[in-house]
């Protein structure tokens, strides 16, 4: 009799365990079905065609103390004229997407960065005029030092943290002097290039006939050796106020269209047959 009771208890236990395991087994797929969509929803990529552009372009403009009011006004007018020029708009139109995202930042010493015109999509004359008007109407500033290194780092941060997805990312940096604050400009340049951007330069040499240190430095060579870098990078020196607007327009068209000008060209200077610049001379 005792054996029968044990057998009955064993059979009952087996049935109970079977019911429990069955319940767990049947419930598991339901739990999985509830979990997986939530996981997919949290990692799902949202495609936004409005965020696609041909180029993400940062216009990083020097406003250090060496840039007097007249030069700043010429610089502003040059960018406004270039951004609204027919050549610039034509370069945008022939792109695969037909839109570019642009921001205009003024810079000086370490952490002295001022967004004059925030990220804007330019795709026609109206959007170009709207962006250029922000530059034209903004008050002029002037700061003490020149940190190209800090300006490059900030420019790449602007590219990495915007909402756009460009086929190319370009930093367009202009200035009339060497890096004199913020550490090694070449080390910063190399780090920023490793992030995937192209850095182009606009060395301003309008005072080279009057300013002996600028003439001795060969600022155009300094930009070639120490500042620019990345695929297709180039520098266009500006040697007169009269040629400023033309140089900016050419530079913007080349950056937007991804062009390289044929040699020889009066604006393009190649690195050949000269001693390299000591990039850390002023760091």
What b/e sequence results for 207-217 when a residue is b if at least 16 CB atoms lie within 10 Å of its CB, and e otherwise? bbeebeebeeb
Q: Which DSSP letter does residue 60 get?
A: E
Q: Tell me: the pLDDT tens digits for 146-187?
A: 999 999 999 999 999 999 999 999 999 999 889 999 999 999
Residue 13 has pLDDT above 80, yes or no: no
Rounded Cα distance between 208 and 223, Å, is: 15
As a residue count, the chain comes to: 283
Q: Which of 174, 154, 135 is nearest to 255 (CA)?
A: 174
Q: Tell me: the pLDDT tens digits for 203-231?
A: 998 876 665 565 557 899 999 999 999 99
Q: Tell me: the pLDDT tens digits for 87-136?
A: 999 999 999 999 999 999 999 999 999 999 999 999 999 999 999 999 99
Query: Strands, E, within the chain: which ranges?
Result: 52-62, 100-107, 113-122, 165-175, 198-203
Tell whether pTM > 0.85.
Answer: no
Of residues 273 and 240, more confidence is placed in 240
């Amino acid at each position: 009799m005792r054996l029968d009771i044990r057998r009955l208890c064993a059979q009952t236990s087996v049935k109970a365990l079977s019911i429990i395991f069955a319940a767990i087994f049947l419930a598991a797929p339901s739990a999985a079905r509830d979990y997986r969509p939530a996981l997919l929803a949290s990692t799902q990529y949202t495609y936004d065609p409005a965020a696609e552009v041909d180029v993400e372009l940062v216009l990083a403009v020097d406003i250090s103390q060496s840039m007097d009011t007249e030069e700043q006004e010429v610089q502003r007018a040059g960018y406004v004229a270039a951004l609204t020029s027919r050549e610039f708009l034509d370069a945008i139109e022939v792109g695969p997407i037909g839109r570019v995202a642009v921001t205009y930042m003024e810079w000086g010493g370490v952490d002295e960065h001022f967004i004059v015109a925030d990220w804007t999509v330019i795709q026609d004359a109206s959007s170009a005029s709207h962006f250029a008007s922000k530059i034209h109407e903004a008050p002029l500033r002037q700061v003490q030092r020149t940190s190209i290194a800090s300006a490059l780092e900030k420019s790449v941060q602007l590219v990495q943290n915007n909402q756009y997805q460009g086929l190319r990312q370009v930093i367009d940096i202009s200035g009339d002097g060497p890096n004199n604050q913020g550490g090694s400009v070449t080390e910063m340049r190399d780090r920023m290039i490793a992030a995937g951007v192209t850095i182009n330069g606009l060395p301003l040499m309008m005072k080279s006939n009057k300013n002996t240190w600028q003439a001795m430095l060969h600022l155009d060579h300094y930009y070639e050796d120490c500042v620019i870098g990345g695929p297709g990078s180039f520098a266009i020196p500006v040697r007169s106020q009269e040629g400023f607007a033309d140089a900016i327009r050419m530079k913007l068209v080349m950056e937007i269209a991804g062009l390289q000008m044929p040699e020889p060209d009066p604006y393009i200077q190649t690195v050949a047959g000269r001693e390299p610049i000591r990039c850390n001379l002023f760091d």
